[in-house]
Structure 1
Amino acid sequence: MTLTTGSDAARARRDATPQGEPRRVGGRGRGRAIEALWGYAFIAPTGIGLAVFYLWPILQTAYFSMTEWGFFGGHTWTGFDNYTRLLRDPEAGQALINTLGYTALGLVAIPLAIVFAALLNQKGLRGVGVYRTLFFLPVVTMPVAVAMVWRWLYNGDYGLINYVLSLAGVEGPSWVADPATALYALAVVGIWSSLGYNLIIFLAGMQAIPREYYEAAQIDGAGRITQFFRVTLPLLSPTAFFVSVISVIGSLQLFDLVYAMAGSGLTARANPAFPRLQTVVHLFYDRAFVTNDRGYAAAIVVMLFLLIIAMTAVQFRLQRRWVHYA
Structure 2
Amino acid sequence: MSDMAKTKPMRRKTTKREKKEWVAAYIFIAPLVIGIFVFYIYPFIQNFWFSFNDVNRFNISTFTGLENYKALIKDKELYRTLGNTIKYVIITVPVGICLSILIATLLNAKIRGTSIYRTIYFLPSVTMSVAIALVWKWMYNGEFGILNNILGAFGIEGQNWLSNPKTALYMVMIVGIWMSVGYNMIILLAGMQGISKSYYEAAAIDGAGPVKRFFKITIPMLTPTIFFVMITSIIGGFQVFDTIYMMIGKTSLAYESTQTLVMMFYRYAFDYGQKGYAAAISIVIFAIIMLITIFQFVMQKKWVNYD
TM-based fold match above 0.5: yes
Confirm whether residue 25 of structure 1 aligns to residue 12 of structure 2.
no
Stretches of structure 2 that go unaligned for 5 or more consecutive residues are none
Distance of 1:73 and 1:241 partners within structure 2: 40
Contact 2:72 2:281 in 1 (8 A): yes
Confirm whether residue 278 of structure 1 aligns to residue 259 of structure 2.
yes
Confirm whether residue 193 of structure 1 aligns to residue 179 of structure 2.
yes
CA RMSD, 1 decimal:
2.6
1:88 corresponds to:
74
Shift of 1:136: 0.8
TM-score using structure 1 length = 0.85
Q: Deviations over 1:230-285 (max 9, x none)?
A: 1100000000001011111111111110111113xxxx1x2111111111111111
Q: Deviations over 1:90-142 (max 9, x none)?
A: 2222111111111111111101110111111112x011111111101111111
User: Runs of at least 4 residues of structure 1 off by over 4 A?
Assistant: 37-44, 46-49
Distance of 1:146 and 1:27 partners within structure 2: 61
Confirm whether residue 312 of structure 1 aligns to residue 293 of structure 2.
yes
CA 1:74–1:208 in structure 2 vs 1: closer, same or farther (change >3 Å)?
Answer: same
Confirm whether residue 287 of structure 1 aligns to residue 246 of structure 2.
no
CA 1:43–1:25 in structure 2 vs 1: closer, same or farther (change >3 Å)?
Answer: farther
Computing the radius of gyration from Cα coordinates, the structure with the larger value is 1
Distance of 1:189 and 1:323 partners within structure 2: 30
Distance of 2:160 and 2:52 partners within structure 1: 41
Distance of 2:38 and 2:57 partners within structure 1: 27
Shift of 1:56: 2.2
Map 1:172-321 → 2, pairs under 5 A = 172-263=158-249, 268=250, 270-321=251-302
Shift of 1:50: 3.4
Confirm whether residue 160 of structure 1 aligns to residue 160 of structure 2.
no
Contact 2:261 2:281 in 1 (8 A): yes
Q: Deviations over 1:25-56 (max 9, x none)?
A: 1225x66xx99x95995797355543443222
Alignment partner for residue 101 of structure 2, among 106, 111, 114? Answer: 114
Q: Deviations over 1:182-207 (max 9, x none)?
A: 11111000000111101111111111
CA 1:85–1:239 in structure 2 vs 1: closer, same or farther (change >3 Å)?
Answer: same
Confirm whether residue 149 of structure 1 aligns to residue 135 of structure 2.
yes
Paired residues, number: 301
Stretches of structure 1 that go unaligned for 5 or more consecutive residues are 16-21
SS at match of 1:59: helix
Distance of 1:272 and 1:79 partners within structure 2: 36
Percentage of identical aligned residues = 44
Letter paired with 1:282: M
1:18 corresponds to:
none
Distance of 1:100 and 1:302 partners within structure 2: 17
Shift of 1:176: 1.0
